[in-house]
Amino acid sequence: MTPKTAVITGAGSGFGLETARIAARRGMNLVLVDVQADALEKAAAEFTHVQVLARVVDVAKAEPMEALARDVQARFGAPHFVFNNAGVGSGGLIWENSVSDWEWVLGVNLMGVVHGVRLFTPMMLAAAKADPAYHGHIVNTASMAGMLNPPNMGVYNVSKHAVVSLSETLYQDLSLVTDQVHASVLCPFFVPTGISQSHRNRPSEFAAAKPTKSQLISQAQTDKAVSSGKLTAADVAAMVFDAIDHNKFYIFSHPQALAGVQTRLEDVMLLRNPTDAFADKPEIGAALRAKLRAD
């Protein structure tokens, strides 16, 4: 039996690496993609019992992603699982973000997913048309920040809302043309991964200016929240494969956070102004306001 193939971006750490480990246990060929060469090399060295194609690629850039897709097609044929997972974080008051901040975050978080979808979906649809037994699944990593709008992290919110919209549309579009290829969106909350330190891989062309007070505050809060997360990246990777196995679209690492989504949607339906993001933890909101308003 020919092994299935998994394409995983952001495979050098976090959700990507843990997902690769599960895929390997299932006997899948691995296409591991990351922008950090040393992390990718270390990850690829783990997998000695399956075929591995490892590529250092900036997912934001069209041409390297197109070259990757050609290499995957030539080596393994159409993939069965595509995990558009690479992502970076950025915070601060939304008017304080530079053009470079916007271009870097939207490039990786949104265009990385766009390239994965536009390049691999046609390959998967062609495979489905040629083989009634073929089944494929695309999983895009968004965030609970794609379902909510937490303050002081606007660029990230915008990028992840776009990924949720892209993924929901992909799900609907696929349903029009095939029953063999499906899609899911992963919306994790705070889970210990490398994303809070993603500035380590920020390209020189998008060099960051000296951080503002709000950006320093956001970084500190994110570091604390991520490091205190009780779920692990491995737990979330297991959720991803459970969604694939049972054809579930929405993957939420922390379902309790959906209460905030309900409040947001009620705000919309009732035409009321957005509810205070810290309504359930006013002390956190008060502390943040005090820090931002201090001279």
Residues that are catalytic: 156
* 138 close to 118: Cβ distance less than 8 angstroms: no
Overall residue count recorded for the chain in this entry: 295
Nearest to 44 by CA among 79, 4, 75, 16: 16
Query: What's the N-to-C CA distance of the chain in angstroms?
Result: 67
Residue 31's H or E segment, with its range, is strand 29-34
C-alpha 158/C-alpha 135 separation (Å) is 32
C-alpha 83/C-alpha 243 separation (Å) is 12
Q: In 3-state terms, what secondary structure has residue 6?
A: strand
CA angle (217 as vertex; 109, 14 as ends), nearest 5: 40
CA angle (248 as vertex; 143, 115 as ends), nearest 5: 55
Residues 6+ apart with CB under 8 A from 29: 3, 4, 5, 6, 50, 51, 52, 53, 76
